[in-house]
């Protein structure tokens, strides 16, 4: 799933000629990535991760690297910046291929657990707590250039292109058509846009790095929080309240959740699942990037339905 491009040794060596990181000693394809091909490289000077973009265009890839470069100058400790080429570019382009090279970070994706949720919550909270001036924030691309917000999802459900199961699940859960959900009035900042637990690497029970910033941009913090909880606080594929509590305990160490956001949190979690489901539809149904992933969005619809049932049951118990 992570080797769409099928790079050979000669092609890899030609890419490395654009960099000052030594000659190739070995390379191996990694079974990671949904819309990138990933390779672990050993060169004379170290170990690197070579990514070939299979989905984004060069403009999108450049704007993603600009976000990561900006984060290097902030207190946020969980991202890495691409290695520049000899000409100072953050991306390479050679023949039909373009992408980036990063330092290789050793670590493993964690399993969902209280400690994992707390660590990831603290990290995303520190991203959301960054002090960014309005002028700086405006220089960062909008999340909706590469992801899907509430208004876009709602409009999509009215289109002929929308799969029936996506539309039916959305309309059943959001009978009010997202009444009260106004992203324009929400607190904005830099969002990751796709922070599921498998987009992280841990070592010695500590979060080392957050990966895959391709949906990062300027957006509502609450939706980003919902996306992250919906992809992290899982037990046997279901979102469970004890792990949400652990996540929020970590998040609160970095950023206090405003009362108005707290009231909309469950809605944000479900909407976040629809956001990533829509993203998967765009990649694997509309663009047919990987036929094996064509129905992967259905998993997120199922997760949203289960979580909605859980919160409705909790509401009934409180009455």
Average pLDDT for the chain? 93
Q: Is residue 2 part of a domain?
A: no
From 69, 103, 137, the end of a domain falls on 103
Q: Is residue 56 part of a domain?
A: yes
Whether residues 310 and 182 share a domain: the answer is yes
Q: Is residue 305 part of a domain?
A: yes
Distance CA 102, CA 90 (A): 10
pLDDT digits (tens, 9 = 90+) for 107-166: 998 988 999 999 999 999 999 999 999 999 999 999 999 999 999 999 999 999 999 999
Looking up residue 17, the CATH number of its domain turns out to be 3.30.200.20
Question: 41: exposed, middle or buried (C-beta count within 10 Å: 0-12, 13-18, 19+)?
Answer: buried
Closest to 102 (Cα-Cα) out of 39, 166, 195 = 39
Whether residues 144 and 293 share a domain: the answer is yes
Mean pLDDT of 64-75: 96
Query: Is the predicted pLDDT of residue 285 greater than 70, yes or no?
Result: yes
Global pTM? 0.94
| pLDDT for res 5 | 53
pLDDT digits (tens, 9 = 90+) for 21-69: 999 999 999 866 566 789 999 999 999 999 998 777 899 999 999 999 9
| pLDDT for res 147 | 96
Whether residues 273 and 312 share a domain: the answer is yes
pLDDT band at 202 (very low <50, low <70, confident <90, very high): very high
Q: Is residue 1 part of a domain?
A: no
Mean pLDDT of 245-261: 97
Total domains present in the chain:
2
Whether residues 176 and 203 share a domain: the answer is yes
Looking up residue 182, the CATH number of its domain turns out to be 3.90.1200.10
Boundaries of domain holding 299: 114-318
Query: Is the predicted pLDDT of residue 4 greater than 60, yes or no?
Result: no
Whether residues 94 and 118 share a domain: the answer is no
The answer to whether the CB of 58 falls within 8 A of the CB of 99 is: no
From 103, 137, 153, the end of a domain falls on 103
């Amino acid at each position: 799933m992570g080797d769409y491009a099928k790079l050979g040794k000669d092609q890899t060596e030609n890419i490395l000629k654009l960099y000052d990181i030594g000659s190739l000693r070995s390379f191996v394809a990694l079974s990671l990535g949904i819309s990138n091909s990933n390779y672990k490289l050993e060169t004379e000077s170290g170990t690197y991760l070579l990514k070939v973009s299979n989905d984004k265009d060069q403009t999108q890839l450049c704007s993603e690297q600009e976000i990561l470069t900006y984060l290097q100058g902030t207190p946020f400790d969980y991202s890495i910046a691409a290695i520049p080429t000899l000409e100072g570019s953050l991306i390479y382009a050679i023949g039909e291929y373009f992408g980036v090279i990063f330092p290789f970070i050793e670590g493993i994706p964690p399993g969902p657990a209280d400690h994992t949720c707390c660590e990831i919550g603290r990290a995303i909270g520190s991203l959301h707590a960054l002090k960014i001036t309005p002028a700086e924030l405006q220089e960062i691309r909008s999340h909706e250039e590469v992801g899907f917000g509430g208004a876009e999802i709602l409009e999509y459900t009215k289109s002929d292109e929308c799969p029936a199961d996506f539309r039916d699940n959305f309309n059943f859960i959001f009978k009010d058509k997202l009444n009260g959900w106004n992203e324009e009035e929400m607190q904005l900042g830099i969002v990751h846009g796709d922070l599921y637990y498998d987009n992280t690497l841990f070592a010695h029970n500590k979060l080392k790095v957050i990966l895959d910033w391709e949906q990062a941009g300027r957006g509502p913090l609450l939706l980003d929080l919902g996306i992250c909880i919906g992809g992290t606080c899982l037990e046997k594929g279901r979102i469970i309240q004890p792990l949400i509590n652990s996540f929020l305990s970590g998040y609160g160490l970095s950023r206090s959740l405003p009362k108005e956001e707290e009231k909309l949190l469950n809605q944000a979690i479900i909407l976040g699942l629809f956001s990533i489901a829509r993203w998967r539809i765009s990649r694997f149904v509309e663009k047919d990037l990987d036929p094996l992933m064509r129905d992967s969005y259905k998993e997120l619809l199922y997760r949203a339905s289960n979580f909605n049932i859980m919160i409705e049951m909790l509401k009934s118990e409180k009455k």
